[in-house]
Amino acid sequence: MSFSENVRQVEGSATIAIAARARELRAQGRNVLDVSVGEPDFRTPEFAAEAGIAAIQQGHTHYPPVPGIAPLRDAIAGLIQRSTGVKTESGGVVVTSGAKQALFNACFCLFGPGDEVLIPVPYWTSYPALVRLARAEPRFVPTTAESGFRVSVDDLEAARTPRVKGLILNSPSNPTGAVYSADELAAITRWAKQHDIWLISDEIYGRICFTAPRAPSVLDVVDSLDRIVVVDGASKAYAMTGWRLGYSYSTRVVAERMSSLQSQITSGASTPAQYAALAAFSDAAQGEKAVAAMAEVFTSRRNTMLAEFREHAPDVYCFPPDGAFYLFFQVDQFFTPAVPDSTAFCSWVLEETDVALVPGSAFGEDRFVRMSFATSSDILTEAIKRLGHLLQPAGVRG
Ligand code: PLP
């Protein structure tokens, strides 16, 4: 069957094969440890869930205004203003079905055929597909562990062509956990403005930061929203992935364009989910407490994992994450003719140890793999012990 040109280059998730095999092994009764997941293992804070339930019971089950219910847009503008100190306006907020839709809206409205969009590597797996859906082309900018998996203005300038219209930045990063400093963000935003390049700043992990209560935002360092779209949401910080609630913040003109697009696609985010998010974002006391409690657990797991790796697999290089909830570690020293890349490596590890990881190829960095710490410390410790048995230096492996 032939499908349209629109989806010719769009592939399904790179992790499907591993996830399917993990399910098969589980069905055979094997104790599979799934450390591939990209969502918090916590429950949605009770007060936010209750607000969603109450909204349904009170009949808030009709179409929402396309860019979001007014009190939620106000609450988001207020939240951004409180946290960054910039003066915000609700008209710049578009509430979306997850942060992913905000990214889609931005890419679809801002980029088109003939345009190129810079994507630092390693990247979150959906960015290239989102750019291609807009019929634009991703232009990858390599980074290394030595450079902290962060791009510099020099790296961006080296990748710039006259066709480059955008840059997608993600800090804290999935999969590396790299966090850009305010100075680095300031330099990048200055460079982007100078060259009329749109900056889409994906800050969905902003509140899961191990060095500060939140990671620096581009909004901390810019004096105008011109050519900037910030993307965030409730999924990660508030453990609300299934509610599908994200948002973008931009100038009102850009927000109106994205809202028009959204009116033809989803008609807006689910109404009860908007009420749940309204509680989460506007009840500063309970909301902040819940976010801080989860961030503390992630910090402790991060430290446990690095310590366990040092003990059980000391020869494996782990990039120390400053945010998000992933550990990105290097495995190419274990590649062999039979296990030539990160996908084969993850299959091998799954068969040998019943530990499910995500291959770095899903993020454009085939020498590494990603382990999530959105799971209990006991499971993480056990998973690293199993990996440690398998991942001995070449001379020791038998
Ligand atoms: N951006 C990044 C970097 C992510 O890791 C994810 C989810 O894994 C998203 C966006 C999508 O978030 P949401 O679930 O709110 O659509």
* DSSP secondary structure letters along 27-62: HTT---EE----S-SSPPPHHHHHHHHHHHHTT--S
Burial (CB count within 10 angstroms: exposed 0-12, middle 13-18, buried 19+), residue 39: middle
Cβ-contact 220, 189 below 8 angstroms: no
Instruction: Note the pTM of the prediction, 2 decimals.
Output: 0.96
Closest atom, ligand 1, to C-alpha of 103: 10
CA of 312 to the centre of ligand 1 (A): 31
241 Cβ inside 6 Å of ligand 1: yes
Residues 150 and 297 in one domain: no
Here the CATH number for the domain that contains residue 299 is 3.90.1150.10
Which mutation among 96, 123, 126 tests ligand 1's pocket best, with the greatest number of atoms within 8 A of CB?
Answer: 126
The candidate with the shortest Cα–Cα distance to 351, out of 386, 312, 303, is 386
Backbone angles phi, psi at 141, to 5 degrees: -115, 110
CA of 364 to the centre of ligand 1 (A): 17
Confirm whether 21 is domain-assigned. Answer: yes
Here the CATH number for the domain that contains residue 78 is 3.40.640.10
Closest atom, ligand 1, to C-alpha of 38: 8
Which mutation among 174, 203, 208 tests ligand 1's pocket best, with the greatest number of atoms within 8 A of CB?
Answer: 174
Residues 367 and 378 in one domain: yes
Residues 128 and 187 in one domain: yes
User: In angstroms, rounded to a whole number, what is the distance separating the alpha carbons of residues 171 and 209?
Assistant: 10
Closest atom, ligand 1, to C-alpha of 100: 16
Q: What is the pLDDT of residues 259-288, one digit of tens each?
A: 999 999 999 999 999 999 999 999 888 998
User: In angstroms, rounded to a whole number, what is the distance separating the alpha carbons of residues 397 and 394?
Assistant: 5
Q: Which of 245, 260, 283 is the last residue of a domain?
A: 283
Structure tokens belonging to residue 11: 């592939």
Residues 199 and 322 in one domain: no
Q: Count of domains in the chain?
A: 2
CA of 171 to the centre of ligand 1 (A): 12
Q: What is the pLDDT of residues 57-98, one digit of tens each?
A: 999 999 999 999 999 999 999 999 999 999 999 999 999 999
Cβ-contact 106, 258 below 8 angstroms: yes
Residues 365 and 338 in one domain: yes
Residues 120 and 263 in one domain: yes
Given strand 368-372, what is the order of strands in its sheet?
A: 318-319, 326-330, 368-372, 358-359
Rg over CA atoms, the chain:
21
Residues 237 and 189 in one domain: yes
99 Cβ inside 6 Å of ligand 1: yes
Confirm whether 359 is domain-assigned. Answer: yes
Residues 267 and 334 in one domain: no
CA of 99 to the centre of ligand 1 (A): 6
Q: Which of 232, 267, 283 is the last residue of a domain?
A: 283
Residues 102 and 225 in one domain: yes
Residues 272 and 291 in one domain: no
Confirm whether 397 is domain-assigned. Answer: no
Residues 16 and 54 in one domain: no
Residues 224 and 243 in one domain: yes
Domain range for 60 is 46-283
Q: What is the pLDDT of residues 5-53, one digit of tens each?
A: 888 878 777 667 788 888 999 999 999 999 998 888 999 999 999 999 9
Confirm whether 395 is domain-assigned. Answer: no
Structure tokens belonging to residue 117: 């969009």
pLDDT score recorded for residue 10: 81
